[in-house]
Amino acid sequence: MRRSGGLFDRPQSLYGVVDQVRDALWPEVTVRFVAAYGAIGRASDDIRQVGGEVFKRANEAIQQLKKRRRFCSWLMGDPILDAALDSLTRWATRFSRT
């Protein structure tokens, strides 16, 4: 298993990137993702050195995804919005695989 992270300064392109990666790797690999909104620990060109609370929350959420056998988790700071985005993403994934 391999983990990767990325930073987006505008969320508009986030799902498109995840969708393209998922489609490129399917069916050999299952992709899970967490989209977490928040401030990074420090600016760096090396993502491994960025860190911060947002990365801790994302790491905890990805562990929960594995346990629940889910595809995605959105952590935008509003529980209702997060649940709606999770649900919409799961439905979109189901319909795109049929």
Question: If the chain, 98 residues long, is cut into consecutive pieces of 10 residues, what is the mean pLDDT of each piece?
Answer: 69 80 83 87 73 87 89 92 91 72
Number of domains in the chain: 1
Residue at 37 is within a domain: yes
Residue 86 lies inside a defined structural domain of this protein:
yes
pLDDT score recorded for residue 78:
95
In a domain, 54, yes or no: yes
What pLDDT score does 97 carry?
Answer: 59
Say what the pTM is.
Answer: 0.75
State how beta strands 33-36 and 72-75 pair.
parallel
Spatial distance between the Cα atoms of 32 and 35, rounded to a whole number of angstroms:
10
The pLDDT value given to residue 6:
73
Q: How many CA atoms lie within 13 A of 39 on its CB side?
A: 2
Domain that holds residue 41: 33-96
Q: Which structure tokens are listed for 47?
A: 């993502």
Residue 17 lies in a domain: no
pLDDT of residue 83: 95
Is residue 18 included in any domain, yes or no?
A: no
- Does the residue 11 lie in any domain? no
- Tokens coding 80: 């209702």
5 lies in some domain:
no
In a domain, 73, yes or no: yes
